[in-house]
Amino acid sequence: MTATATTSPPGTPRAGARIEVRDLTKQFGSFTAVNALSFTVEPGRITGFLGPNGAGKTTTLRMLLGLISPTAGSATIGGRQYREIEAPMSVVGSALEATNFHPGRSGRDHLRVLGDTMGVGGARVDEMLELVGIPAAARKRAGGYSMGMRQRLGLAAAMLGDPQVLILDEPANGLDPEGIRWLRGFLRHLSSQGKTVLISSHMLQEVEQTVDDVVIISNGRLVKQGTMAELHGNGGAIVRTSDTGALAGALRVADLTSTEQDGALLVDTSDLRLVGDVALRAGLPVYELKVATTDLEDLFFQLTEGTNRNLGGGTPPQRDAIAGQEGANG
């Protein structure tokens, strides 16, 4: 890795910084886009910031990055508001939209201009283009880039200052399955170095194999924060036999609670051998035995869409009509 003012010495991964959002609220006129939102994002983990379209994800990220001011509450990175951070691009890298490149400038030139403002040299630019897999394409005009290439260029820009914290808005958008797999490996590598990674998405399924933790919002409010494992649930075991009542009794004797579900039993343990042994001792056949998993798509829908204001509820105001009220930073 090329030594620059902002690059860590080789082999000494820097610890990331925690993101803390406390009672964060943003109103556009009388419309509350983000409503008393609180959550934390830990270093060394990939956190998915999830919610349906219009839930308030981008608005939250813009407040976190000091692009708009909160109406109330706070959003800090490593204990400081973005605007208080010295050399912020070496602490926080972000890609909010994949489209804001000058169309006539090559991807490489775009990064060079950005690098100049950060004191980062051309070698680092080329290294980042290599890292995101577009070294050749980066010499062409960004106006001709596919969505996936723009995403990769945005990522390279976010990484230029070797930041501890990476904040990406819908980074999987426009990537094909191979691109999503690549992104997963890329982010996993960064989090394993102790960096803090926050990515937004309106689809849980899109990022379910990528993220460790989730923050789910709907209508500007938090509906769930937890680990992906918690979201999947401990599940329990599902067992199917010839005599459900008899197996339920045998499980009870073994101190296991079960409930009938679609002709099978849902048992409050994820130890499948234990359930199989109980059935064997009771002389009952086992037709099916598996860990019960949560249907994430269903869960996400239950948590969010049912109350989504953008699906027929209250009408948000026209963006442009309100945007002018934001002042210079809005």
Ligand X SMILES: Nc1ncnc2c1ncn2[C@@H]1O[C@H](COP(=O)(O)OP(=O)(O)OP(=O)(O)O)[C@@H](O)[C@H]1O
Query: Which parts of this chain interact with ligand X (CB under 6 A)?
Result: 28, 33, 51, 53-59, 202, 316-317, 319, 322-323
Q: How far is the CB of 272 from ligand X (least distance, A)?
A: 39
* Least distance between ligand X and beta carbon 176 (Å): 20
Strand order in the sheet with 213-218: 92-95, 165-168, 196-201, 46-50, 213-218, 221-227
Closer residue to ligand X, CB minimum distance, 58 or 90: 58
> Which residue lies nearer to ligand X by CB, 144 or 317?
317
Q: How far is the CB of 170 from ligand X (least distance, A)?
A: 7
Residue carrying structure tokens 């009388």: 30
In the bound complex, what is the minimum distance in angstroms from residue 100's beta carbon to ligand X? 15
Find the shortest distance in angstroms from Cβ 183 to ligand X. 18
Measured from the CB of residue 320, what is the shortest distance to ligand X in angstroms? 7
- Please report how close the Cβ of residue 200 comes to ligand X at its closest, in angstroms: 7
d(CA 54, CA 316): 9
Between 16 and 154, CB nearer to ligand X: 154
For 141-154, b where at least 16 C-beta lie within 10 A, e where not — what string?
ebeebeebbbbbbb
Q: Judged by CB, which is closer to ligand X: 24, or 129?
A: 24
- Over the range 22-53, which residues count as b (16 or more CB within 10 Å of their CB) and which as e? eebbbbbeeebbbbebebebbbbbbbbbbbbe
Q: Which pair of tokens denotes residue 143?
A: 């106006």
Backbone angles phi, psi at 317, to 5 degrees: -75, 165
Kindly provide the b/e burial profile for residues 258-269, where b requires at least 16 CB atoms within 10 angstroms of the residue's own CB.
Answer: beeeeebbbbeb
Query: Long-range CB contacts (< 8 A, 24+ apart) of 131-136?
Result: 131/156, 131/159, 131/186, 132/156, 132/159, 132/186, 133/182, 134/107
CB closer to ligand X out of 249 and 317: 317
* CB nearer to ligand X: pick between 109 and 326: 326
What are 297's two structure tokens? 């798509």
Q: Pick the closer one to ligand X by CB: 55 or 248.
A: 55
